[in-house]
Amino acid sequence: MARDATDKAHRVMQAARRLLDTCGIERPPVDLVRIARHLGVQRIRELDIRLDGQLVELADGGYEVILSRNAPHTRRRFTLAHEIGHILAASPGDESMNCGDAAAEELCNRVAAELLIPERFITDRAAGMDVGTLRRLATRFQCSLEATAWRVLNMGQVAGALLIWRPLEDGKLELSASPRTFGFATPFENGAVLDGAVPFVRQLTAQSEGPVTYGGAPGGRVYTGDYVRLNKVLLMYLTSEARPRSSKTRRRSSAAPGQGELFS
Ligand SMILES: [Zn+2]
């Protein structure tokens, strides 16, 4: 069963990637309506519904997608891409049409990320990432900043750590997710709660965005990056980790392996 599920996920993701070529999509923002039409969606309506979206199979074989008109534009795009995932995953006799099955939901979210931010359209990843770059990408791809950050980190192309904090009462922050990190370990574990009285946390909650430095990690390591407060979460992107210099542990060359050749 598990093997079948993996094969199916692979097939669905490949189908999602092929859609860009099939539908002649060459640049962001990805024209999701064109893709939806190609897959048999006959109409997309924006209504007052409590869910983010709904996929309806029509009697004549096509589909209708209903999106919540109260959701922001970026959220509606994500939902439409997610429903496209359900169409791709649907095969006769299975239940992939319905939201509810956790595995199907995760697959459809992966399809959405693939369609909204295709890897091939990210051309400036070599320049490194920070919140400003993510914001530009989010605008270009018409995605939320949070979805963009997840996607870029999950591609595994840039070093950095994305941390998503949930504000609690009394100014406390709880680390709700750290999707992927590359290049260094983050100083916090998922579920960690930081006290609102700590100066570092006071800074994060006092201003909606800015640079951030954290020096309280074990071994005296210092992390730097920047952060931005969104609607419900605080998104932090750490871009560098500095280890304290110590005569005992310092290597003869301070350059990381592989960098030495560049500078010698
Ligand atoms: Zn769903």
In this prediction, residue 220 carries a pLDDT of 87
Average pLDDT of the residues of the chain:
84
Distance 202 CA to ligand 1 centre (A): 38
Q: Which residues contact 201 (CB under 8 A, 6 or more apart)?
A: 171, 172, 173, 194, 195
Task: Please tell me the distance between residue 102's alpha carbon and the centre of ligand 1 in angstroms.
Answer: 9
Instruction: Write down the architecture of domain 130-242 according to CATH.
Output: 2-Layer Sandwich (3.30)
In the reported structure, the alpha carbon of residue 9 is separated from the centroid of ligand 1 by a whole-number distance in angstroms of 14
How many angstroms does the Cα of residue 16 sit away from the middle of ligand 1?
Answer: 16
- Inter-helix orientation angle 73-89/2-22, to 10°: 120
Nearest to 173 by CA among 181, 164, 185, 161: 164
Q: How far is the CA of 68 from the centre of ligand 1 (A)?
A: 14
The 10s digit of each residue's pLDDT in 237-249 is 888 888 877 645 4
Tell me how far the alpha carbon of residue 97 lies from the centroid of ligand 1, in angstroms: 8
pTM: 0.77
Pick the more confident residue, 179 or 176.
176
Say how many Å lie between the CA of residue 83 and the centre of ligand 1: 6
**Overall size of the chain counted in residues:** 264
CATH code given to domain 2-120: 1.10.10
The Cα 44–Cα 67 span in angstroms is: 7
Q: Which helix (H) or strand (E) holds 257?
A: none
Virtual CA dihedral for 77, 116, 156, 119, nearest 10 degrees? Answer: -170
State the Cα–Cα distance between residues 83 and 44, nearest whole angstrom.
11
Ligand 1 mean position, distance from CA 105 (Å) = 5
Decide if pLDDT at 259 tops 90: no
Instruction: Name residues whose C-beta falls within 8 Å of residue 47's C-beta, 6 or more positions apart in sequence.
Output: 66, 67, 68, 69
- The residues pairing with 165 across neighbouring beta strands, listed in sequence order, are 175, 234
Q: By C-alpha distance, which of 122, 128, 212 is closest to 163?
A: 212
> Ligand 1 centroid to 172 CA: how many Å?
32
Q: Which residues surround ligand 1, an ion (CB under 5 A)?
A: 99, 108
Tell the burial category of 1 from Cβ atoms under 10 Å away from its Cβ (0-12, 13-18, 19+): exposed
Three-state SS at 162:
strand
Domain positions in the chain: 2-120, 130-242
Average pLDDT over residues 103-113: 92
- Give 166's pLDDT tier (boundaries 50, 70, 90): very high
- Please tell me the distance between residue 99's alpha carbon and the centre of ligand 1 in angstroms: 4
Tokens linked to 86: 């359900």
**Distance (Å, whole) CA 114 – CA 108:** 10
If you measure from the C-alpha of residue 86 to the centroid of ligand 1, how many angstroms do you get, rounded to a whole number? 7
Q: Determine the distance separating the centroid of ligand 1 and the alpha carbon of 64, expressed in angstroms.
A: 14
pLDDT confidence bin for 261, thresholds 50/70/90 = very low
User: What distance in angstroms lies between residue 252's CA and the mean position of ligand 1's atoms?
Assistant: 54
- Rounded to whole angstroms, how far apart are CA atoms 255 and 144? 36
